[in-house]
Structure 1
Amino acid sequence: MFPTLHIAEKTTGSRGSLALLRWALVVIFLWFGCMKFTSYEAMGIAPLMQNSPIMSWIPAVFGVQGASYFIGTAELVTAAALIIGTFNKMASAFGATMSCLVYAVTLTFFLSTPGVAEPTAGGFPAISAGTGQFLLKDLVLLAASACLLLASIRPADA
């Protein structure tokens, strides 16, 4: 009478799916990492860092542009590790761990950055179209990073 339902995801995914996640993350880290070397991007991330209990020390030590260089360098190292990780499990695990850390930290901005909640819609859980939605999408990037990390550390026979 009723069709049998099957859960689609039974493993971490095929190699093709993992490759799609890997290369999407590589593009993001290369692009965003390179952008951090512009004053436009440095000014854009400054308010996020200034309000963060985790990141506020970086512009205090390096200045706004120096902080952007610091983060950009970390993002480019992450991209390089993910690229090398195509052929090396250790590099893959390192790149995926770095990616997880990046997105875990940026998700904390969701709690520390003014303007995430949208007051005209009643405040939290309504989020702003700008800052709130910009930060919330990092949840799926964290999930993609975690999938790569789990696949990198899983034994070959699993």
Structure 2
Amino acid sequence: MGAVTRLFELAAGADRLGLAVTRIGLVVVLVWIGGLKVYHYEADGIAPFVANSPVMSFFYADPANYKAHMNPEGAVVPANRAWHEMNRTYPFALGLGSVIVLYGLLIALHPVLPQAATVGSFLVAVMSVVTLSFLVTTPECWVPDRGGPEHGFPLLSGAGRLVVKDAIMAGAALVTMADSAKAFLRRRARRTPAEVPSAGAVAA
């Protein structure tokens, strides 16, 4: 029983390590995935999410026709690439990728600017909620009906499985947001001089 208790004590003491791994994981994922938006295959891949989103579709010139111009991942179809150029697919992806990378860099500033990391984590939590909304707005998140018995809700497609993982991202961002906010408040408390009673107050 003592060995089991010791194992649980070790597990309980891993909270700071887990928080550090969570923060590093967020930074790596955000900077990596955001950076990939410079590549056309990644921009093509997010087209269904953007085209079907009621808050993002206006960024595209012709969101209704994206299905006819989807490129298989890694393939180059010149006619489709030309359509995506016209559709503003690639400029939007560059802008989105820059924002995602910025969020990651803000979180990475935790050791020196925890207030910036707090803001970055909050923005990632909001972004994750928006991403999760794609489960409602994007048909490609569900296995399509191609004649078989397995399709539609709750059968997530590859795109849907990618999106639903943002539930973890949202939770991780909230955890790092709280930790960065606490770090900022601790720093500010250390820098604030203790209140010293005035001479009049002492005399009274």
- Pairwise TM-score range, normalised by the shorter structure: 0.7 to 0.9
Aligned-pair identity (%): 29
Number of the residue aligned with 2:84? none
Total equivalences in the alignment: 150
Gaps of 5+ in 2: 1-7, 62-86, 190-204
1:105 — aligned with what? 130
Q: Per-residue deviation at 1:86?
A: 2.9
**Residue aligning to 2:24:** 23
Q: Give the number of the structure with larger relative contact order, counting CA–CA contacts within 8 Å between residues 6 or more apart.
A: 1
Q: Which amino acid aligns with 1:53?
A: P
Cα distance in 1 for residues equivalent to 2:126 and 2:42: 20
SS at match of 2:60: helix
1:142 aligned partner: 170
TM-score (normalizing by structure 1): 0.82
Q: TM-score, normalised by structure 2?
A: 0.65
| Aligned-partner Cα distance in 2 for 1:48–1:101 | 16
Q: Deviations over 1:49-83 (max 9, x none)?
A: 000112212234x8111110110110111111011
Contact kept, 8 Å, 1:59 with 1:66, in 2: the verdict is: no
Matched, 1:127 2:163: no
SS at match of 1:115: helix
Matched with 1:34 is 35
Aligned mates of 1:59, 1:39 — CA distance in 2 = 15
> CA-atom RMSD, angstroms?
2.7
Any runs of at least 4 consecutive aligned residues in structure 1 with deviations exceeding 6 A, and if so which? none
Map 1:34-113 onto structure 2 (within 5 A).
Answer: 34-60=35-61, 63-113=88-138
- Give the secondary-structure state (helix, strand or coil) at the position aligned to 1:53: coil
Give the C-alpha shift of residue 122 in structure 1.
Answer: 5.1
CA-CA distance at 1:115 after TM superposition: 2.5
SS in 2 for 1:139: helix
State which drifts further: 148-157 or 82-91.
148-157
